[in-house]
Every structure is written in structure tokens, then in C-alpha cells.
Chains A and B, each alone.
Chain A
Amino acid sequence: GAVVSQHPSWVICKSGTSVKIECRSLDFQATTMFWYRQFPKQSLMLMATSNEGSKATYEQGVEKDKFLINHASLTLSTLTVTSAHPEDSSFYICSAGSGNTGELFFGEGSRLTVL
């Protein structure tokens, strides 16, 4: 079946540095990808919708300059957490769909810890 892969699965960085997380659709082309954030014991909160070839659409309250999203190809979207701070520590998950209303596939998630 369709697979979405995220990398890295976990990352530790120092406060003030930037971290890039990749989301790849392995066997299908994804015109749209979604980035979520999940705090411990909480549900997934949609951060932004990543559209291939155009700017991402951010949800209310999500800083677009803080969380840079690039969807340069039909199989890759990246989320860059810029100038990371400890409060950015979280579990980030991406999902991808082929553009039709149907099953959305989720990556394995990336755990970010900012020291």
C-alpha cells in the first residue's frame, strides 16, 4: 500500500538552531501534504497544508516564518523549524493524499527535542 516516510524520526537540537524534517510519499504522487503537531497525551493539531508548487496554507495561530514549509516536488515536503526553542519540542507528523477525497496516509512522525 501507499507509504509516507518521515526523516528524521527523532532529532535533538540546541535552542536557536533550525531543524528540517522531510516527508516523502514513496509510491504515489502527493499534490497535497499536511503537517501536524502533537503534544504528549494530546491529539493532532493541523499546522499547515502544503501544496506542490505553491505557498503553504497555515492554520490560525501558526507562525509561517517560524515553521517554513516547502513542497518542491510531488513526493517531498519539508518542514523547517527555525530558531527552535524548547517550547517547539513536539511530535511532528505529516500526511499525504493524492488529491482525491479518500485515504490519507501518515508518516511515522518526527520527535523534536530542543534543549
Chain B
Amino acid sequence: SQELEQSPQSLIVQEGKNLTINCTSSKTLYGLYWYKQKYGEGLIFLMMLQKGGEEKSHEKITAKLDEKKQQSSLHITASQPSHAGIYLCGADVGGKLIFGQGTELSVKP
């Protein structure tokens, strides 16, 4: 079965600093999703990547999928308190989505 490993599990950064969250799959990814969640709330869709080498950006968040399609990174530039939350990567496995364990991000003002 496919497994997703996220790192780090938690992250505390100073406001204004850049950060990167990684997601590694045990198998080739055919669709990689990034979501953000506030604890106890639903998920907010950030980006979806499908092609090897693909890169997408939205505001200060950039996500990349490596050429081999087994690793993705989420990069936040000039972090703000509003970026705080749990970031989850999800993999499309036969039409259903499985998730990594999540990365909890705290941004200190």
C-alpha cells in the first residue's frame, strides 16, 4: 500500500521567515494534493500537482513535485501568523485520497 511521510511533524518559525515542508511517497504519485487545516475544522485546498517537475504557486505558497513523482515540497515565503495550521499532503490512490500525518506549523509574531 502507498504511504506518505511528511517532515517535519511540527515547525515553529518566526514571522517573516521562509519554511519548507516535505512529503515523500513510497510509490509513484499520480496526483499530489496539499491542504491546510485548522485543528477541528475542515480542509482548505491549496494545490494539486500531477506532472513530474511541476510547480505551482498561490500567493506566498509554492508547491513542487519532483521529476520522479515521489516527493513534493511546500514552501512558504515570508511566513505570517495566518499561515499557522496543519498542512497535509494527500495522494490520489486509485481515485481516493490518502494523507500523510501532517505538519503542524506555528508562526511566532
Q: How many A residues touch the partner, as a band?
A: 20 to 34
Contact assessment for B43 and A43 in the assembled complex, using a CB-CB cutoff below 8 Å: no
Pairwise interchain contact B42-A46, C-beta atoms closer than 8 A: no
Bound Cα distance A32, B31 (Å): 17
Q: A34-B96, A103-B48, A104-B33 are in contact. Are A42 and B41 (CB under 8 A)?
A: no
Contact residues in A for B80 (Cβ distance below 8 Å): none
Chain A-chain B contacts (Cβ-Cβ < 8 Å), number = 51
Interchain CB contact under 8 A, A104 and B41: no
Q: How far is the CA of A87 from the CA of B98 in the complex (A)?
A: 22
Interface SS of chain A: strand
B101 touches A104 (CB 8 A): no
Q: Is the CB of A46 within 8 A of B98?
A: yes
Say if the beta carbon of A111 comes within 8 Å of chain B: yes
Smallest CB–CB gap between A23 and chain B, Å?
Answer: 11
Q: How far is the CA of A6 from the CA of B41 in the complex (A)?
A: 11
Flag whether B40 is at the interface (Cβ < 8 A): yes
* Nearest neighbor of B47 in chain A, beta-carbon distance: A103
> For residue B39, which residues in chain A have a CB less than 8 angstroms away from its CB?
41
- Measured between beta carbons, the chain A residues less than 8 angstroms from B95 are 32, 49, 101
Question: Which residues of B have CB within 8 Å of A41?
Answer: 39, 104
B residues 11-63 with Cβ under 8 Å of A?
30-31, 33, 35, 39-43, 45, 48, 50
Q: 14 more A-B contacts (CB under 8 A) besides A95-B97, A106-B42, A107-B42?
A: A32-B95, A34-B96, A43-B88, A46-B98, A49-B95, A91-B40, A101-B31, A103-B45, A103-B48, A104-B45, A104-B97, A106-B45, A108-B41, A109-B41
| Interface residues, chain A, with chain B CB atoms under 8 Å away | 6, 32, 34, 41-46, 49, 91, 93, 95, 101-109, 111
